Structure formats: structure tokens, C-alpha cells
Structure 1
């Protein structure tokens, strides 16, 4: 009787949707940027320039290569095949195809595999790229992490504040900055984007080149390289 009860419990567990067995599933892509979250109750797709699409989370379908979620407006097909986002060079466990209102989006899903330990985060860094593009020519934005304090230069102004880092997640702020006006529009936009992204809850990982990758909830990224002494 006990063996039968255990077997029945295992069958019941595997019949649950993936979102009920673990934390929310997330996927994202570039060109264009998009972000997908699948929770226990809601499946949500976001992309710049288009309205957010949110639908009730359907029951997951366990296919041969991965999981699928199918609704009238959003279809998600995951393939358990390693995937890199083409921008930060991080590795994800799944290759993901999302179809929203008939339009296909390609990207990666699951938690990044190369998580950066706390000891790797500390020190001085130079911002090499913002959202997959090199920083504005002639600028040298920097970020430093030390003893719970974050500081740096966004390209025009210095900033500082506190930060917390746990389980691969970085939360900084509130950040205070000087108020010097940027000389040109590109510098100003870059600084606003850097400070805005640092104010979000970020996933921290390192890529194969040893660079630090900070990723926001909507797929925006900062790529940092060690600053020379």
C-alpha cells in the first residue's frame, strides 16, 4: 500500500505544470528585444513598441525535446538545447520559440548557467557595452563594488549608493549622482540608461571571456570588464 501511495504521489507531481513545480519560467531574445515570463497563473510577453500581451497560463505540454504552452495569442515551444543570447555570450539551458499573434520570436530560456560568485563581483569595472552595443566613443563609464557600496561614473556624472548581492541577483540603490550637464545628447542618453538599469533588480553572471554581465528584467544588459589598475 505504501509503495502504491508513493507511486501515485510521483505521478501527481509530474502531471503538474512546470510553473507549479518551480519558480517562474523566463525567456528573452534580442533583435528585437523581448521578454517572456510564465507564472502559475499568468503568461506575459513584453517587447518595446508593442502592447504587453498577458494570458492565463495553460497546462504545460511535455514534448520529446522540451515543454510547450499553447494559447490563442501566445504559443511557447522550448527545446532543451544550450542557447546563447548573441549579445552577452552567456549560456542558457533552453532554445525558445515564441509565437505572439502570429509573429515568431527566437531566444533563450531558463536560468543562465554561469553565475558569478560574490567574490567575482567586487572591484573596479569599466562598462564595455550597453544593450549589446559599445559605449559612446570618447566616454569611459565605470562601476565599482566594495563593502556594500556601489559607485562609478556614468559618462558625465559620478554616482554612488548601496547594493546587496545574493543568489546571483544584484539590487542597488537608491543611487545619488552629481548634476553636471552632459555636453551632447548621446552621452546624456547613455548615462540615463546606465543609471536606470543599475536601479533595477539585476541578474549577475559571467561569460566565457570572464566579463561580468548584468541583465535587467526586460533583457537590457550591461557588460563590464575589469578596469586596469
Structure 2
């Protein structure tokens, strides 16, 4: 079975994604994908099943296309990550692209 089919056939995975400098976060769950900042900016996208890399395990990378009044992409990749502000360790790195803005952060499953 191709990795994309494996990822799409699984139940919805929930994640918390955080970034610093500037602070931002994304939550992913069955209700949608929500981006927030402290200023308070909030953008909600409908949930879509993530794409995965061909030839790699489904857990290796998740690519969420973000569609709504703003479009973008959220990439969650398996690998150690530190938020740089605490001693907390995360099992995933994250890159968020919204318009012309690219932000890096860390992610963990809920």
C-alpha cells in the first residue's frame, strides 16, 4: 500500500504545534486546523488528511495543505525538536508557510 494511502486510511491524528520568536501555535484535530498568535490572530482551516512522502513510512512526514481565505502549508516531520524557550523536548519538527511568511517550530501528538 502506498504511504499516502496508509496515512489517509488512518484515523485523524491530533497535534499541538508551537513556535517562538514570534510566538504562534497550531492545533490539529477533527474539528479543523487552527493557527493562533498572541496578538490575537486566529485562522481556522478545514481538516484535510495529510499527504506523506512516497517511499517513506507514513509517520515520517505529514504535509497539510491549508485552504481558506488564507492558504498555506504545514509540514510536520518526525525528529527531535526544542522550542528554545524551555527544557521540553518534542518528537516532531514543524514548518508553517502562510502567504510569504515561513515559521519553524516543534510539534507533539495530543
**Shorter-chain-normalised TM-score: which range?**
0.7 to 0.9
Q: Which structure has greater strand proportion?
A: 2
Report if the CA contact (8 A) 2:7-2:50 is conserved. no
Report if the CA contact (8 A) 2:16-2:28 is conserved. yes
Q: Aligned pair 1:100/2:98, yes or no?
A: yes
**Which structure 1 residue ranges, 5 or more long, are not aligned?**
1-11, 113-229
Change (3 A) 1:45 1:14: closer
Q: Which structure has greater helix proportion?
A: 1
Change (3 A) 1:80 1:28: same
Q: Distance in 2 between matches of 1:111 and 1:58?
A: 17
Q: Aligned pair 1:32/2:30, yes or no?
A: no
Q: Distance in 2 between matches of 1:25 and 1:16?
A: 18
Q: Distance in 2 between matches of 1:85 and 1:52?
A: 21
Q: Note the 1:112-131 alignment, pairs <5 A.
A: none
Q: Distance in 1 between matches of 2:32 and 2:52?
A: 19
Change (3 A) 1:17 1:55: farther
Give the C-alpha shift of residue 33 in structure 1.
Answer: 0.7
Q: Deviations over 1:109-168 (max 9, x none)?
A: 0149xxxxxxxxxxxxxxxxxxxxxxxxxxxxxxxxxxxxxxxxxxxxxxxxxxxxxxxx
Give the C-alpha shift of residue 16 in structure 1.
Answer: 2.9
Paired residue for 2:61?
A: 66
